[in-house]
Amino acid sequence: MKTLVWVEHDGSAVKDATLAAVTAASKLGEVHLLVAGEGVGGVASAAAQIAGVQKVHVADNAAFGHNLPENIAPLVAELMASHDAFVAPATTTGKNIAPRVAALLDVMQISEILSVEGPKTFTRPIYAGNAIATVESLDAKLVLTVRGTAFEKAAATGGSGTVEAVSAGGDAGISSFVGAEIAKQDRPELTSAKIIVSGGRALGSSEKYQEVIVPLADKLGAALGASRAAVDAGYVPNDYQVGQTGKIVAPEVYFAIGISGAIQHLAGMKDSKTIVAINKDEDAPIFQVADLGLVADLFSAVPELTGKI
Amino acid sequence: MKILVPVKRVLDYNVKPRVKADGTGVDLANVKMSMNPFDEIGVEEAIRLKEKGVATEIVAVSVGPAKAQETLRTALAMGADRAILVQTDDEVEPLALAKIFKAIADAEQPGLVILGKQAIDGDNNQTGQMLAALTGWAQGTFASAVNVEGDHVSVTREVDGGLETVKLKLPAIVTTDLRLNEPRYASLPNIMKAKSKPLDTKTPADYGVDTAPRVKTVKVSEPPVRSAGVKVADVDELVAKLKAMGVHA
């Protein structure tokens, strides 16, 4: 089986999520990559180095510059004439593009796969991760998105794929990119961080988040996260949100501070290796999944922890 | 313009799903069902566009069993003008749903279709994008702001690193993210009024759509259970345990 993997990149480097998608794709067969964008020669040569990659298709065109699905989906659909599966990381970009490709190919997509069980059989979470479905595609071609935290990342080097230019596609003329506000962070990206320190509603304010959560994260070199309640209350920006409707993370250590542990939040972090919960309510559901739980007032316990660790 | 708002009846988001012992699915007998939360946001956004004078009519659509009528009545009570129930007891996958919505869009000629970004049962996050592909319209997924300006709509989208804004030619497809708006509650008088608003009942066959599944569910199982952890007495014990695990500054 020949798979085509969507390479997510920032114009200069391949993003980590792609490496997990490559691992999933390699379980299906021959791995080809698609690098689309404007001025992406550098990304393509980096992508060719990923272990296990046989070929990199490069679509260099201004129309592909901002991942507009109206322009990219027809390009992918055309390339799929010579591939059996399209695999994208389950990032906001992958989730935006892949279903449009699937419908153009008249196949059902299988979203956020957790494992490859057979040539057309996969597992995936449903109901916010409260159930795991094993599903088999009956379609001729596969379209999959891959949950990044469920697969090891392929090595970024050691491969020797050939690079080939693609001339297909262009601007469909129905959408354009206006601008972006990307939150600047000097710390690790949430979805790939080894340690995450997350704060919830119990913090009470944006100032307290800065005062209590940030120093612990700084000390541990951790990424910052939050529950939906903390985001909705305006303590932190939206992209900090961990959960069914936010980001899905699985770090080595996840600190849930002042987070009760609603099922929508657990859906985003319960695959973390170690969960540490600090909450003053000893009946909070978070303690049912926490490996280490401390029943204490976070305003005194967290600064003490930051000082002693 | 007319706005089409697909809504889905799902297990209420506060209910903890129980996997059936025979592994065939999640037990939906005698549990509370409600409108998918992202769809409520879609209905709300359509109503706000009507209140601003942008939209002239809001048509709510649902594909599902007879009881999905309740979900449509909720949309009507919130402020939708009329509803279409495409009745079927089969589970309909996003691709077939998108085909039904495409047929309805062909008939109704909406200027905008607003869907939820995902349904909280299947967690697929596909239908809106698929509908956009089938209609050939532009898509603004995971929207946190929607502004109709003449013959196009500008959509601010929640993406992994932050926000981005795209400008789409109308007609277009929008899928809602949580922060687009705060849906209103239907008042009692509006719930009463909704009972007399028009609701057409159709079937997938009326639209010539085959709903046979393309993905077979082999089994549904419980997720792995985490082994019970320990509660530590104080910060010192927590620090010691963390250091033993190799976590330190």
Which value, to the nearest 10 degrees, does the dihedral of the CA atoms of residues B87, B93, B96, B100 take?
40
For residue A52, is pLDDT > 90?
A: yes
Query: Cβ separation of A232 and B13 shorter than 8 Å?
Result: no
Neighbours of A62 (CB within 10 A): 12
Whether pLDDT at A238 is above 90: no
Structure tokens at B146: 């929607």
**Token reading at A158:** 């050691």
Structure tokens at A14: 């391949």
A126 interaction partners in chain B (CB closer than 8 Å)? 26, 121-123, 220
Contact B234, A140 (CB under 8 A): no
Asked whether the predicted pLDDT for residue B224 surpasses 90, the reply is: no
- Which 203-232 residues of chain B touch chain A by CB within 8 A? 213-223, 226, 228-232
Inter-residue contact A108 to A101 (CB < 8 Å) = no
* Amino acid identity, position A173: G
pLDDT of residue B160: 87
CB contact, 8 Å: B65 with chain A? no
In this prediction, residue B111 carries a pLDDT of 98
The arithmetic mean of pLDDT across residues B192-219, rounded, is 97
CA distance A58 to B9: 42
SS3 of A148-191: the string is HHHCCCCCCCCCCCEEEECCCCCCCCCEEEEEEEECCCCCCCHH
- pLDDT reported for residue A176: 97
B26 close to A (CB below 8 A) = yes
Q: At a CB cut-off of 8 Å and minimum separation 6, what does A217 contact?
A: A187, A195, A197, A223, A224
Between positions 151 and 190 of B, the ones with CB within 8 A of A are 154, 157-169, 172, 177-179
Q: What is the DSSP string of chain A?
A: -EEEEEPPB-SSSB-HHHHHHHHHHHTTSEEEEEEEESS-HHHHHHHHTSTTEEEEEEEE-GGGTT--HHHHHHHHHHHGGG-SEEEEESSHHHHHHHHHHHHHHT--EEEEE-EEEETTEEEEEETTTTEEEEEEE-SSSEEEEE-GGGSPPPPSSS---EEEE-------SSEEEEEEEEPP-SS--GGG-SEEEEE-GGG-SHHHIIIIIHHHHHHHTPEEEE-HHHHHTTSS-GGGBBSTTSB----SEEEEES----HHHHHHHTT-SEEEEEES-TT-GGGGT-SEEEES-HHHHHHHHHHH-
**What does the pLDDT read at residue A251?**
94
Q: Using CA atoms in the order A203, A206, A208, A212, what is the torsion angle rounded to 10 degrees?
A: 90
C-alpha A104: how far from its chain's center?
24
In B, which residues are within 8 Å of A195 by CB distance?
A: 247
Residue B139 is predicted with a pLDDT of 98
pLDDT of residue B228 exceeding 90: no
d(CA A38, CA A59): 8
Task: Out of A101, A131, A275, name the one closest to residue B222 (CB).
Answer: A131
Could you read off the pLDDT of A59-77 as tens digits, one per residue?
Answer: 999 999 999 999 999 999 9
Which residues 77-106 of B have a C-beta within 8 angstroms of A? 93-95, 98
Closest Cα in chain A, distance from residue B100 (Å) = 13
Q: Which of residues 116-145 of B touch A (CB under 8 A)?
A: 117-118, 120-134, 136-139, 141-142, 144
- The C-alpha atoms of residue A99 and residue A141 are separated, in whole angstroms, by 13
Place of tokens 């702001």: B145
Nearest by Cα to A52 from A160, A163, A162, A164 = A160
For B192: left if phi > 0, alpha if psi spans -120 to 50, otherwise beta; the answer is: alpha
pLDDT at residue A180 in the model: 93
* Cβ separation A136–B124 shorter than 8 A: no
ipTM score of complex: 0.95
- pLDDT tops 90 at residue B226: no
Q: From its phi and psi, is residue B162 left (phi > 0), alpha (psi between -120 and 50) or beta?
A: left
Paired tokens of B111: 């200027």
Q: Is the pLDDT of residue A220 over 80?
A: yes
Per the CB < 8 Å rule, is B220 touching A131?
Answer: yes
Q: What is the pTM of this model?
A: 0.94
| Residues of chain A contacting B180 with CB distance shorter than 8 Å | none
Q: Read off the tokens for B166.
A: 């795209």
Roughly what angle, to the nearest 10 degrees, separates helices B68-78 and B37-51? 30
Nearest chain B Cα distance for residue A162, angstroms: 30
pLDDT, position B161: 83
Q: List pLDDT tens digits, range A137-193.
A: 999 999 999 999 899 999 999 999 999 999 878 899 999 999 999 877 778 888 889
Query: Which candidate from B124, B133, B217 shows the least CB-CB separation from A111?
Result: B124
Q: Which residues of chain A make contact with B131, given a CB cutoff of 8 A?
A: 103
| Radius of gyration (C-alpha) of chain B in whole angstroms | 21
Q: Residue A126 and residue B162: Cβ atoms within 8 Å? A: no
Amino acid at B93: E
CA distance to partner chain B, nearest, from residue A230 (Å): 13
pLDDT at B5 over 80: yes
Cβ-based contacts of B172 with chain A (< 8 Å)? 174
Residue B249, pLDDT above cutoff 80: no
**Res A191: pLDDT:** 85
Q: Convert the pLDDT of each residue in B54-99 to its tens digit.
A: 999 999 999 999 999 999 999 999 999 999 999 999 999 999 999 9
A293 contacts B231? CB cut-off 8 A: yes
CB within 8 Å: A138 and B216: yes
Q: Cβ contacts (< 8 Å) between B26 and chain A: which residues?
A: 126-127, 130-131
Nearest chain B residue to A288, by CA = B228
Angle at B196 (CA atoms; ends B191, B201), nearest 5 degrees: 105
Q: B24: which residues sit within 8 A by CB, 6+ positions away?
A: B217, B219, B220
Q: Mean pLDDT, to the nearest integer, of A214-219? A: 95
User: A242-267: per-residue pLDDT in tens?
Assistant: 998 889 999 999 999 999 999 889 99
| Contacts by residues B240-248 (CB-CB < 8 Å, ≥ 24 positions apart) | B241/A292, B242/A253, B242/A276, B242/A292, B242/A309, B243/A309, B245/A253, B245/A274, B247/A195, B247/A220, B247/A252, B247/A253, B247/A309, B248/A309
Q: What's the CA angle centered on B218, arms B213 and B222, to 5 degrees?
A: 120
Mean pLDDT of chain B: 96
- Start-to-end CA distance of chain B, whole Å, equals 58
* Interchain pair A126, B220: CB under 8 A: yes
Distance from CA of A298 to the nearest CA of B (A): 11
Interchain CB distance below 8 Å, B159 and A70: no
C-alpha span between B79 and A237 (Å, rounded): 31
Q: What are phi and psi of B45, to 5 degrees?
A: -65, -40
pLDDT value of position A307: 95
B239 closest CA partner among A213, A278, A214, A266? A278
Structure confidence at residue A246 (pLDDT): 87
A10 or A168, which is more confident?
A10
- Using a CB-CB distance cutoff of 8 angstroms, which residues of chain B are in contact with residue A288? 228
* Pairwise CA distance, residues B35 & B195, whole Å: 17
Please choose, from the candidates B58, B73, B59, the residue with its C-alpha nearest in 3D space to the C-alpha of residue B9.
B73
Nearest CA distance, A1 vs chain B (angstrom): 19
- Nearest Cα residue in chain B from A69: B139
Closest CB from B129, B158, B220 relative to A99 = B129
Q: What average pLDDT does this structure show over A28-50?
A: 97
User: Could B124 and A295 be called an inter-chain contact, meaning their C-beta atoms sit closer than 8 Å?
Assistant: no
> Which residues of chain A make contact with B142, given a CB cutoff of 8 A?
92, 96
Tens-digit pLDDT profile for residues B110-136: 999 999 999 999 999 999 999 999 999
CA distance B183 to B160: 24
